Amino acid sequence: MENFDVIIVGGGPAGLSAAISAAHAGMKTLVIERGDYPGTKNVMGGILYTKATDMVVPEFWKEAPLERPIIEQRIAMLSGDESILAGYRDPDWAAEPYNAHSILRVKFDRWLAQQAEKAGVMIITETLVEDLLYKNGNVVGVRTGRAEGDLGAKVVIIAEGVNNFLAVKAGLAKSLKPATVAVTVKEIISLPKEKIEDRFCLDEGQGATIELYGDSTAGMMGVGFIYTNKDSISIGVGAILESVVREHWTPNDLLENLKAKPYVKRLLQGGETKEYLAHLIPEGGYTHVPRLHRQGVMVVGDTAMLMNSLNREGSNLAMVSGKIAGEVAAQAIKAGDVSDQAMAVYESRLRDSFVLKDLHHYRHMGKFFEDNPHLLKIYPKMFSKAAKMYLTADGTPKKQRQKEIIQMLFEQRSKGGFIKDLYGAWRALL
């Protein structure tokens, strides 16, 4: 049996970040990836955050295959054919130090894997890890699907993605539930650069994002998204699986509905679909974060439920968790102590970072939306109606119109209901 210091299961942003930091600390490091190369099994909406990535590969933007730096983030609330829009644009984001870029994972993850290899990491592909290896109750490596596929390790880092098979087998995580995942589908639609830049009012090379709420998910808890790539657009929609089951939707119909919305249709017009993808997003939040460590094991990235969907942050949480886990693994191995207590340093460092702080901050959010399924159904409609009444110039004096609007709002939702929603939102989000 071949032995390593650190074995990492999974070649996504979390796993590769862990590998790079472990290798930099002098560890003999192996990444085991089930795809034919890191990236070919990996899916996300498509936004990569600069700060977290820079911590793993300094000044990565000079070399990495990125699509466009994001200079504008729009939010749309859809109600039928109507939309309410808000956004923030800062052209400074088009230059260093940047904030975020759109990426395509097959290209980016491949590049990140090459950086890991440069750092001395060994990568085995087309190999599925089936279980951890134990000796006297201690984790001593992994069992792969290959013949004579046992590999030894002092520390195993589980970065297997949202489907947490190994973490469950190791007794660290519970099986996922329909309420703790969002089923998400995405299309990549090719469009000429100039068309993208014209339609999104961008200078050459700049990028924009739009998150769409309300009817983008048929009022279900979830979000639609549109991200500009170099010469394509990523458009997708995700919703909590429990509601998709209950409301008898199919993911592809949701996406087709979104694509048919007047505001969206025009942005995509003339484009050609290049790929259709599906993925789960871990949405359990803080209360569903699994046990993050045990003797010789740490859990990172999506497997650890590290996802802040309100701010659309996931890849950065994954990379920071991976980087810390790689460092902790190296320290523990050098000190000759890979006990649960030694691995616990990983969790305390995550707690000191924005990763678990942000999840903790939003810890009531999942339940708030779960308990109030009306929010994304009635508010977009109410706000659209209010906007239409306010902005339609039909000769009604404004004072009277404002009264009518307030009356309309209270017909849709009682004063007590508004206060309850507002208090709930304040508690969940602030």
Q: CA dist 375 to 124, 412, 415, Å?
A: 46, 12, 15
Q: Is 66 in the site for other proteins (CB under 8 A)?
A: no
Structure tokens at 358: 């942000």
Q: Is 117 in the site for other proteins (CB under 8 A)?
A: no
Near other proteins by CB under 8 A: residue from 13, 39, 296, 326: 39
Q: Is 123 in the site for other proteins (CB under 8 A)?
A: no
Torsion angles phi and psi, residue 224, rounded to 5: -100, 155
- Nearer to other proteins by Cβ, of 277 and 387: the residue is 277
- Nearer to other proteins by Cβ, of 153 and 244: the residue is 244
> Which span (140-148, 338-346, 369-377, 415-423) binds other proteins, by CB under 8 A?
140-148
| Contact positions with other proteins (CB under 8 A) in 277-336 | 277-280
Query: CB 127 → other proteins: shortest distance, Å?
Result: 4
Query: CB 233 → other proteins: shortest distance, Å?
Result: 12
Query: CB 247 → other proteins: shortest distance, Å?
Result: 10
Q: Please tell me what DSSP assigns to residue 176.
A: P
Number of residues that this document lists for the chain: 430
Near other proteins by CB under 8 A: residue from 8, 25, 34, 294: 34
Size of the site for other proteins (CB under 8 A): 53
Q: Identify each DSSP E strand in 33-180 by its residue range.
A: 47-49, 68-79, 82-89, 100-102, 122-124, 129-135, 138-144, 150-158
Q: Is 126 in the site for other proteins (CB under 8 A)?
A: yes
Q: Is 341 in the site for other proteins (CB under 8 A)?
A: no
| Separation CA 391–CA 310 (nearest Å) | 29
> Which span (75-83, 250-258, 316-324, 408-416) binds other proteins, by CB under 8 A?
250-258
- Nearer to other proteins by Cβ, of 178 and 262: the residue is 178
Near other proteins by CB under 8 A: residue from 51, 143, 146, 291: 146
Near other proteins by CB under 8 A: residue from 100, 172, 188, 305: 188
What is the Rg, in whole angstroms, of the alpha carbon atoms belonging to the chain? 23
Amino acid of residue 281 = I
Amino acid of residue 162 = V
Near other proteins by CB under 8 A: residue from 113, 153, 173, 181: 181
Map residue 262 onto helix, strand or coil: helix
| Contact positions with other proteins (CB under 8 A) in 153-172 | 162-163, 165
Q: Of the candidates 175, 155, 144, 162, which has an alpha carbon nearest to the alpha carbon of residue 298?
A: 155
Do 352 and 168 form a contact (C-beta atoms < 8 A)? no
**Which residues, in sequence order, are CB contacts of 299 under 8 Å at separation 6+?**
157, 158, 167, 172, 173, 290, 291, 292, 293
Look-up of token digits 């404002």:
402
Query: CB 231 → other proteins: shortest distance, Å?
Result: 11
HSE toward the beta carbon, residue 10, CA cutoff 13 A: 30
Structure tokens at 191: 């469009």
The interface mask with other proteins, positions 216-235, x = CB under 8 A, is ----------------x---
Chain positions contacting other proteins, by CB under 8 A = 34-36, 39-44, 104-109, 125-128, 144-146, 162-163, 165, 175-178, 181, 183-185, 187-188, 232, 241, 244-245, 248-252, 256, 273-280
